[in-house]
Amino acid sequence: MSEPKQLNVGLVGAGVVGGGVVKHLTRNADLITERLGMRIHLKWVCDKDESRLKDLPIPVQHLTGEVQKVLQDPDVHVVVELVGGTGFAKTLILDALNRGKVVVTANKALLAHDGEELFSAAAKNSSNIFYEASVCGGIPIIKSLREGFVANHFPIIYGIVNGTCNYILSRMTADDLHFEEALEEAQSRGYAEANPALDIDGVDSAHKATILASLAHGFWTGFENTYVEGIRQVSRLDIQIARELGYTIKLLAVVKSDGDGNSPAVEVRVHPTLIPHSHVLSSVNGVFNGVVVNGDVVGDTMFYGRGAGADATASAVISDLADAALNLKFGSKQRVPAFVAHRLHARVRTIDDVESRYYLRLTVEDRSGVIAKVSQILGDADISIASVLQREAPEPKAGHTEASSGTVPLIMMLHTAKDRAVREAVAKIDGLSVVKYKTVVIRVENFDATTK
């Protein structure tokens, strides 16, 4: 039997990323063919908004607004889903898989919420799902975890995985901006949406953390089990104090396991984090992403690059198409399965049981006895204070609650404690009459010596 000479692709969703895929597949078609020994052919490009199709460098007979033309075409080997969302996209992917077609997707939200169902459908239909573009854009983190590090357990994964948040925090750090100022700048540059909630509330990062945790540990951890905090509460003062203490504040995704056996407890969390200046992730700035993977065999590896945008994401989609093409060429759709469930008794550790160090910023009345009241509550909870810093009230600015007339910021660094104990103690502290605003709590990550 002769080898197939091309991979026929139906691409659904010709927006920013879809348009980028078309552009780069067309521009670098000969290079890709030389490297693969077969051509990737865009048999269909589909979008319900047909105005997106008119300027694509694709013959008109291969353009359509009807998704069923793509799904029902028996010559289409791969369906690329780039429409986003969790409604139509899920129906589209399941339909494609049930027809035996391979799927390529960048849909992190859908995978985080419904990955278990989708990958089960792929296995049932002897098909496959490729999803490199769902996490960190052009950084090949999925392929590395799935193939390059196949011999490894993963005790720790740390990631800065959202470019919007990283840009905002980087600008706050570099130019002493307030959060609102940095966000407005990010929006003006196109790095943040008009409604930036998905990014700045940590949800986008949590989708990616859920995918990484599930792939790394061989069971679906569940998006609902990923602890999420965003960056809205991080102030200019927090950035300044962190710098004085030797830290940089980043929105960090953390995946940790307590063992290598079949029933580990895995914690999956996303929140602002104080990172020591000496750690490599503290220097990941702007819209860039960075992921540190600790494998029990390979040790520490660092992945760095653009985590979003048409070009970076298109590069990841095309790399998945290349894998699908090689699978077709050698007659194996599932040469490397999309997901292998191999830890059936593992569990997710809740945030209550996570242990960390903590930074607290209280806004308190400027009078004696305040520190004693706060220390008493922490002491009763068996939480040890590492250091206390008191600052003069910063210059007031409308809309900011770092401090106000008659109050001062009080900063406490705590030794390692359980998260639940700290949160319960802070709730009691916030109930004191001398505390005027809700206390800001930021975790301090204890990086292992091998990840510095």
CATH of the domain at 256: 3.30.360.10
SS3 139: coil
Looking at the fold, whether 130 and 157 belong to one and the same domain comes out as no
Residue 346 belongs to some domain of the structure:
no
Tell me how crowded residue 60 is: count the other CB atoms within 10 A of its CB.
9
SS3 159: strand
Looking at the fold, whether 93 and 111 belong to one and the same domain comes out as yes
Looking at the fold, whether 271 and 283 belong to one and the same domain comes out as yes
Q: Which residue has the tokens 């962190």?
A: 242
At 154 the pLDDT is 94
> In whole angstroms, what is the distance from residue 205 CA to residue 228 CA?
8
Looking at the fold, whether 236 and 265 belong to one and the same domain comes out as yes
Residue 334 belongs to some domain of the structure:
no
Looking at the fold, whether 150 and 264 belong to one and the same domain comes out as yes
Looking at the fold, whether 20 and 160 belong to one and the same domain comes out as no
Beta strand 6-12 with 39-46 is parallel
The structure's pTM equals 0.93
> In whole angstroms, what is the distance from residue 205 CA to residue 194 CA?
18
Closest by alpha carbon to 19, among 417, 389, 311, 316?
311
Question: Tell me, what CATH number does 439's domain have?
Answer: 3.30.70.260
Looking at the fold, whether 300 and 385 belong to one and the same domain comes out as no
Active site residue 208: yes
Looking at the fold, whether 204 and 216 belong to one and the same domain comes out as yes
Strand partners, 257: 266
SS3 264: coil
At 391 the pLDDT is 77
Residue 335 belongs to some domain of the structure:
no
Looking at the fold, whether 179 and 252 belong to one and the same domain comes out as yes
At 102 the pLDDT is 97
SS3 389: strand
Residue 340 belongs to some domain of the structure:
no
Structural domain total, the chain: 3
What one-character DSSP code corresponds to residue 426?
Answer: H
Closest by alpha carbon to 162, among 111, 205, 210?
205
Structure tokens at 86: 């969790």
Looking at the fold, whether 265 and 320 belong to one and the same domain comes out as no
Q: What are phi and psi of 350, to 5 degrees?
A: -75, 165
Residue 294 belongs to some domain of the structure:
yes
Q: Where are the beta strands (DSSP E) in 89-155?
A: 102-105, 129-130
Residue 452 belongs to some domain of the structure:
no
Choosing from 108, 208, 256, 333, the catalytic residue is: 208
DSSP, residue by residue, 265-292 = EEEEEEEEEEEETTSGGGG--TTEEEEE
- Order the strands of the 39-46 sheet from edge to edge: 63-64, 39-46, 6-12, 78-81, 102-105, 129-130
Domain of residue 427 covers: 352-447
Q: What radius of gyration, in Å, describes the C-alpha atoms of the chain? A: 24
Per-residue buried b or exposed e for 374-395, using 16+ beta carbons within 10 Å of the residue's own CB: beebbeebebeeeeeeebebee
Structure tokens at 425: 């103690």
Residue 343 belongs to some domain of the structure:
no
Looking at the fold, whether 280 and 153 belong to one and the same domain comes out as yes
Residue 81 belongs to some domain of the structure:
yes
Give me the tens of pLDDT residue by residue for the chain, a chain 452 residues long: 456 789 999 999 999 999 999 999 999 999 999 999 999 999 999 999 989 998 899 999 999 999 999 999 999 999 999 999 999 999 999 999 999 999 999 999 999 999 999 999 999 999 999 999 999 988 999 999 999 999 999 999 999 999 999 999 999 999 999 999 999 999 999 999 999 999 999 999 999 999 999 999 999 999 999 999 999 999 999 999 999 999 999 999 999 998 766 678 999 999 999 999 999 999 999 999 999 999 999 999 999 999 888 999 999 999 999 999 999 998 887 787 788 877 767 889 999 999 999 999 999 998 899 999 999 999 999 999 999 998 776 655 555 555 566 899 999 999 999 999 999 999 999 999 999 999 999 999 988 644 44
Cβ contact 269:420 at 8 Å: no
Looking at the fold, whether 266 and 407 belong to one and the same domain comes out as no
> In whole angstroms, what is the distance from residue 403 CA to residue 365 CA?
10
Question: Tell me, what CATH number does 14's domain have?
Answer: 3.40.50.720
